[in-house]
């Protein structure tokens, strides 16, 4: 592992601290009028998503974690696990749903996902900003019921339930924002 100085911190950098594996969300160098300089940081735990604030002395050495990003294609479900294939060496990898967190709501057969790996452990995933999914079930829109901005629940092919406009019907293909989980438009 490589050591990095707190003076060289950047947003998105991964650190292996005694408390666990963290990603730098925000940082600020502070040079008070008296006393030594320090670095105030906001860190996000990469395993459970919790955020914490931490202050380090200036030029303190921290252990940088090397996160390997591997592009993988989703193949199928094997019981509870998701089975992915590495696009470079074609090896298959079984992934538990807890490792994918909210990303599991947007993954369909054949989709490509970038998995963030620390050693053999999956610590996150990168999804595109939006995905296209089929509506599996929703109440049909009633003719004449066109109140502006009215919404109804819809279940998508992945099992995700979200609010959609009244004109969306079962079988329609819609675009969903993966960051907020909201309906964007019909595809």
CATH fold label, 68-126: OB fold (Dihydrolipoamide Acetyltransferase, E2P) (2.40.50)
Q: Domain coordinates of the chain in residue numbers?
A: 2-64, 68-126, 130-186
- Residues facing residue 108 across a β-bridge: none
Q: What is the pLDDT of residues 86-117, one digit of tens each?
A: 888 888 888 888 888 788 888 888 888 888 88
DSSP class of residue 46 equals T
CA distance 109 to 125: 16
The CATH homologous superfamily of the domain defined by 130-186: Nucleic acid-binding proteins (2.40.50.140)
Mean pLDDT of the chain: 85
Q: Is the pLDDT of residue 146 over 80?
A: no
- Residues facing residue 86 across a β-bridge: 72
Strand spans (E) along 9-168: 14-17, 20-30, 38-45, 51-57, 61-64, 68-78, 81-86, 92-95, 112-118, 121-126, 130-138, 151-156, 161-165
CA distance 26 to 59: 17
Q: Is the pLDDT of residue 9 over 60?
A: yes
Q: Specify the CATH architecture of the domain 2-64.
A: Roll (2.30)
Give the pLDDT confidence score for residue 144 in this predicted structure. Answer: 61
Q: And the tokens for 11?
A: 């947003």
DSSP class of residue 99 equals H
- Fold match between 68-126 and 130-186? yes
CA distance 115 to 179: 16
């Amino acid at each position: 592992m490589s050591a990095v100085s707190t003076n060289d911190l950047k947003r998105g950098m991964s650190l292996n601290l005694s408390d666990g594996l963290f990603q730098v969300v925000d940082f600020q160098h502070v040079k008070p009028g008296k006393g030594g300089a320090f670095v105030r940081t906001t860190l996000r735990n990469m395993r459970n998503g919790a955020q914490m604030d931490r202050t380090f002395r200036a030029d303190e050495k921290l252990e940088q974690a090397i996160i390997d990003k591997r592009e993988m294609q989703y193949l199928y479900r094997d019981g509870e696990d998701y089975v992915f294939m590495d696009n470079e060496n074609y090896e298959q990898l079984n992934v538990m749903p807890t490792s994918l967190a909210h990303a599991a709501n947007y993954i369909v057969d054949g989709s490509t996902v970038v998995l963030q790996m620390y050693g053999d452990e999956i610590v996150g995933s990168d999804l595109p900003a939006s995905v296209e999914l089929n509506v599996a079930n929703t109440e049909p829109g009633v003719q004449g019921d066109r109140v502006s901005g009215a919404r109804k629940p819809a279940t998508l092919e992945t099992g995700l339930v979200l609010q959609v406009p009244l004109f969306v019907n079962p079988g329609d293909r819609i675009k969903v924002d993966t960051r907020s989980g909201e309906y964007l438009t019909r595809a």
